[in-house]
Structure 1
Amino acid sequence: MKVEQDYIRDIAEMRSLMERSSKFLSLSGLAGIMAGVYALAGAYIAYRFFNFNPDKIVYSIVKPESLYADLFKVVLLAIIILILAIGTAIFLSFKKAHKRGEKLWNPTARRLLIHMAIPLIAGGLLILILTSKGLIGLIAPFTLLFYGLALYNAGKFTYEEVKSLGLIEIGLGLISSYFVEYGLLFWTVGFGVVHIIYGIYMHYRYER
């Protein structure tokens, strides 16, 4: 009986080592929660102080010089939120990796970053093109769509739940592409509410 138990334990340890070598498991659920909080705060600021009303976002072509004056402020706000979210994710993931006795930057992390970067860069360039053409209504849906594609790609190298999160973001992006007048609302749900729910789930499943 003892030999059998040792054999099962050895198999479990080997499986754990193989998983650690092929999966990036230092993602923090708290980082997802904080990213959601940042997104909710940003959406509130954009709506309340920059007059970025989702009911006014329509699918129409306008000349670049006639874009809303507050659009630049909203873009700047989005960049700040992105920097905060990424910075928080790196910090909390570093702490988690250190606690597990692992390195944050390793071959698996590089592969994950590359597979996320391709759709994110492509989406970012497309959004710049849309902005230059005045297609403001498609900005929010496309950020959700390409972010979801990036997460789905990342799911190959980390927790399987990341794939599910990516599919949800893709779905919200597609729906938002149809209901473009509610673009900011869908963006708030995708980057805010969904992130918080995902972060809470990941924290309680893997970090407690």
Structure 2
Amino acid sequence: MKTNSVNPKEDIQAIREIMERSSKFMLLNSWAGFFAGTCALIGAAVVWFGVLESGALHYDEFLCTVGGSPLNSVTIGLGTVALIVLLLAGVAAIWFSYRKAQKAGQKFWTSSTKRVLAHLLIPIVSGGIFVLILVSRNQIDLVASAMLIFYGLALVNAGKFTSGEIHYLGMAEIAVGLLAGVFASYGLVFWALGFGLLHLVYGVVMWMRYER
């Protein structure tokens, strides 16, 4: 009579995988990346064609000549566009994750969700405060760099509790942010590259690996 053999190592591995999945936030999808990247590129276009008047007011020249009060039409315009893009991307990420949870018959607001949000918000809030400090000191040339670096740190910080792609996206954002600090006069270009193009690449990778 044949008997089914049990492999303890396979059982332990299976239990470990189940525990790992239950402890991680796996509801992010490609559409969140596509939406965030598209919003960022549209925001960069609005800055170029609207705030900077299609290049009539050069970004690098503005950085070199800004003085006096940091609150002027250009800084207000840049800040408004950045804030709108951040809010739209954040709301969209939550919405797409919520919809994915509904379709999968899972709960959205779990301990994993809270853990990811906490690890995201600490660097993002700290970065936002640091950006305000830079603006108050008229160091506008470092704002794009600071935004990218702190956002990248937030993703790396939260990447321990979600898919590995988030970790690598965060590392890429940090690298682009450092380049934006070195080549400060091209801050808008690096901002569009980091928040726009990298999110689109992330969306493509997520779609090809998990959703195709």
- TM-score over 0.5 (shorter chain): yes
Matched, 1:70 2:71: no
TM-score for the superposition, normalised by structure 1: 0.90
Which range moves more in the overlay, 143-152 or 43-52? 43-52
Deviation per CA, 1:48-75: give whole Å up to 9, x if none: 111164333536773225x542221221
The one-letter amino acid of 1:156's match is K
1:98 equivalent in structure 2? 102
**Distance change in 2, residues 1:157/1:60 (3 Å):** farther
Encode CA deviations 1:1-46: one digit per residue, 9 max, x unaligned: 9946998996676344312211100011111111000000000010
What is the rounded CA distance, in whole Å, between the counterparts of 2:151 and 2:196 in structure 1? Answer: 13
Residue number in structure 1 paired with 2:88: 84
1:26 aligns to what SS in structure 2? coil
Alpha-carbon separation, structure 1, partners of 2:109 and 2:180: 35
Does the residue aligned with 1:82 lie in a helix, a strand or coil? helix
In structure 2, the partner of 1:123 is: 127
1:55 paired residue number: 60
Judged with a 3 Å threshold, the aligned counterparts in structure 2 of structure 1 residues 25 and 156 are, in CA distance, closer, same or farther, namely: same
On the 8 A contact 1:31/1:85 being kept in 2, the answer is yes
Comparing 141-150 with 89-98, which one deviates more in the overlay?
89-98
Structure 1 residue runs of 5 or longer lacking an equivalent are: none
Task: Provide the C-alpha distance between the structure 1 equivalents of 2:98 and 2:3, rounded to a whole number of angstroms.
Answer: 38
Q: Which residue of 2 aligns with 1:36?
A: 37
2:24 matched to which residue of 1?
23
CA distance, structure 2, for counterparts of residue 99 and residue 26 of structure 1 = 11
Moved over 3 A (4+): 1-16, 52-55, 57-61
Larger radius of gyration: 2
CA contact (8 A) 1:59 1:180 kept: no
Aligned-pair identity (%):
42
- Kindly provide the CA deviation profile for residues 127-154 of structure 1, in whole angstroms up to 9, marking residues without a partner as x: 0011011110010000000000000001
Q: 1:183 to 1:126 in 2, by over 3 A?
A: same
Deviation at 1:112, TM superposition (A): 1.0
User: Larger relative contact order (C-alpha < 8 A, sep ≥ 6)?
Assistant: 1
Give the TM-score taking structure 2 as reference length: 0.88
Letter in 2 for 1:114: A
Relative distance call for 1:30 and 1:61 in structure 2 (3 A) is same
Q: Give the match's secondary structure for 1:70.
A: helix
Shift of 1:113: 0.9
1:203 Cα deviation from its structure 2 partner: 1.6
In structure 2, the residue matched to 1:161 is 165
Structure 1 residues 57 and 182: alpha-carbon distance in aligned structure 2, compared to 1, 3 A threshold: farther
Structure 2 residue corresponding to 1:185, chosen from 186, 189, 197 = 189
**Structure 1 residues 103 and 2 mapped into 2: Cα distance closer, same or farther (>3 Å)?**
farther
Count of paired positions: 207
CA distance in 2, matches of 1:198, 1:139: 23
Provide the residue aligned with 2:155 in structure 1.
Answer: 151
Task: Specify every segment of 5 or more residues in structure 2 that has no aligned partner in the other structure, as ranges.
Answer: none
